[in-house]
């Protein structure tokens, strides 16, 4: 009999094909994990149906009525709580922008064979739930606890290794982050694909930390060794690099592509004259965006930065563009209060993680037929 390692053999993480042509594995993943529609970037809240999705395995279909969350491991008083009991706890609603760490991967060359995101793995929702910290305190962390692990109900294989999707946070991270135990998204119960009936939201961090289909919270006396924590979601330069864990979201901005698109190339057709360009800008760790610039063919101007609906949510920006006939490339770039700015081109990472290079939109300005 073959072992799982032999059946789910170690795959080559590089695309086999032309770097410009996505392979079958990538197309399959893209068909399961939809991205946001860039035209919704004009809105504070991403409509739930167009919020991006990133699911590694299959979507578990869990029963909200019988669902419970187990607190176990090195706690003084382990306990279990039903969803009904969690819903009865004090509720908090937060606007949080979530972005997949793989967003922008398709712009890094050679790309890693994974979900081929360009710009669309980002969205903002109003998440409702109860703060996690009091529930951890209720269980009583033992003196030997160092981390808390969060496990989802979804199970599968990656590089031959069977595991349930899980992530951990150190006690220092838990003390600093306002982790929310979430059951509602935009005023309605979580949809199956977004983690129903219960997930966490880790504001300011890339999406991998926000574990969906949460079943277990385990206090650990040694650092968590789950696949999704130690084997991936690390910045690595090459195969020999042990890497650094990915945490907070890097500063980024996107614009709503103006005008109308060509079906296949998505090149925009824009009428000449005054055109309002709007977009969103965000950064991680609760750090506000301080400046956004907009460029037409590499000539930069400052955009007007409007408010953000919360410290962990994207801010709106706008600029007036006098569209002149011809072909142009539009770009936008953001800075945050830490002085971090988006790079013009992608920074190298083996798995194409956290590529926050500026967006480029090709437009043709001419009289509309
Ligand atoms: N259980 C579980 N949680 C998960 C994932 C997953 O595959 N399984 N994907 C993570 C990743 S990589 C991201 S970017 C976000 C995406 O959340 P969304 O699909 O609700 O947008 O969920 C995170 N939580
Ligand atoms: Mo992700």
Residue nearest to atom 19 of ligand 1 (CA): 53
- Could you say which of 3.40.228.10, 3.40.190.10, 2.60.40.650, 3.30.110.30 is the CATH number of the domain covering 252-365? 2.60.40.650
Model pTM score: 0.95
Residue nearest to atom 18 of ligand 1 (CA): 53
- Pairwise CA distance, residues 297 & 201, whole Å: 38
Report CA(100)–ligand 2 centroid distance (Å): 4
Stretch (H or E) spanning 87: helix 83-87
Task: Confirm or reject CATH 3.90.420.10 for domain 4-245, answering yes or no.
Answer: yes
Residue nearest to atom 10 of ligand 1 (CA): 208
Stretch (H or E) spanning 227: helix 227-230
- Is there a contact between 13 and 113 (Cβ–Cβ < 8 Å)? yes
- Please give the backbone phi and psi of residue 33, each rounded to the nearest 5 degrees, phi first: -110, 95
Dig out the tokens for 110 from the structure.
């050679």
Write down how long the chain is. 369
Residue 4 has a pLDDT of 65
Under DSSP, the state recorded for 303 is P
Atom of ligand 1 nearest to the CA of 214: 1
Spatial CB neighbours of 201, under 8 Å, sequence gap ≥ 6: 94, 96, 98, 127, 129, 179, 180, 182, 210
Return the number of other C-beta atoms located less than 10 Å from residue 354's C-beta. Answer: 26
CA neighbor of 130 nearest in space, from 184, 177, 168, 71? 184
CA neighbor of 93 nearest in space, from 49, 115, 124? 124
| Pocket of ligand 1 contains residue 207 by CB under 6 Å | yes
Residue 12 has a pLDDT of 60
Please give the full DSSP string across 246-301, using - where no structure is assigned.
Answer: --BPPPEEEEPPPSEE-TTT--EEE-SEEEEEEEEEE-STTPPEEEEEEEETTEEE
Dig out the tokens for 332 from the structure.
């936008």
Ligand 1, from 34, 52, 54, 97: best to mutate by most atoms within 8 Å of Cβ? 54
Residue 272 has a pLDDT of 98
CA neighbor of 70 nearest in space, from 61, 80, 78, 58? 80
- Is there a contact between 258 and 362 (Cβ–Cβ < 8 Å)? no
- Is there a contact between 90 and 243 (Cβ–Cβ < 8 Å)? no
Residue 20 has a pLDDT of 72
Is residue 319 helix, strand or coil? strand
Can you give the residue ranges of every domain in the chain?
A: 4-245, 252-365
Establish how many alpha carbons lie within 13 A of residue 33's alpha carbon, considering only the half-sphere containing its beta carbon.
23
For each successive 10 residues of the chain (369 residues), what is the average pLDDT? 66 63 92 97 97 98 98 98 98 98 96 95 98 98 98 97 98 98 98 98 98 98 98 96 97 98 96 98 98 98 96 98 98 98 97 98 95
CA neighbor of 134 nearest in space, from 84, 86, 97, 204? 86
Report CA(341)–ligand 2 centroid distance (Å): 22
Equal fold, 4-245 vs 252-365: no
- Please give the backbone phi and psi of residue 352, each rounded to the nearest 5 degrees, phi first: 70, 30
């Amino acid at each position: 009999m073959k072992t799982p390692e032999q059946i789910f053999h170690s795959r080559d993480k590089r695309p086999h094909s032309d770097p410009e042509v996505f392979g079958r594995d990538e197309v399959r993943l893209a068909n399961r994990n939809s991205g946001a529609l860039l035209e919704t970037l004009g809105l504070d809240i991403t409509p739930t149906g167009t919020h991006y999705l990133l699911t590694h395995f299959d979507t578990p279909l869990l029963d909200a009525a019988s669902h419970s969350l187990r607190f176990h491991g090195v706690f003084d008083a382990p306990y279990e709580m039903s969803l009904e009991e969690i819903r009865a706890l004090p509720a908090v609603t937060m606007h949080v922008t979530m972005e997949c760490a793989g967003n922008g991967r398709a712009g890094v060359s050679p790309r890693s064979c994974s979900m081929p995101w360009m710009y669309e793995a980002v969205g903002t929702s109003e998440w409702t739930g109860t703060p996690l910290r009091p529930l951890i305190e209720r269980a009583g962390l033992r003196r030997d606890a160092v981390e808390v692990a969060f496990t989802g109900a979804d199970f599968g294989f990656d590089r031959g290794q069977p595991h349930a999707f899980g992530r951990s946070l150190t006690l220092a991270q838990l003390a600093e982050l306002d982790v929310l135990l979430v059951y509602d998204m935009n005023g309605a119960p979580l949809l199956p694909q977004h983690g129903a009936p219960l997930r966490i939201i880790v504001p300011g961090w890339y999406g991998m930390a926000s574990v969906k289909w949460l079943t277990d919270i385990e206090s650990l006396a040694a650092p968590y060794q789950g696949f999704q924590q130690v084997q991936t979601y690390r910045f690595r330069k090459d195969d020999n690099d042990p890497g650094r864990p990915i945490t907070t979201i890097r500063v980024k901005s996107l614009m709503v592509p103006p005008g109308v698109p060509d079906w296949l190339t998505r090149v925009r057709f824009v009428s000449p004259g005054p055109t309002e360009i709007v977009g969103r800008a965000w950064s991680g760790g609760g750090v506000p965006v301080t400046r956004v610039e907009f460029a037409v063919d590499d000539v930069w101007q400052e955009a007007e930065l409007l408010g953000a609906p919360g410290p962990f949510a994207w801010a709106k920006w706008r600029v007036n563009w006098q569209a002149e006939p011809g072909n142009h490339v539009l770009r936008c770039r953001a800075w945050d209060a830490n002085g971090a700015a988006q790079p013009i081109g992608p920074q190298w990472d083996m798995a194409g993680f956290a590529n926050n290079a500026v967006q480029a939109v090709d437009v043709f300005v001419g009289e509309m037929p």
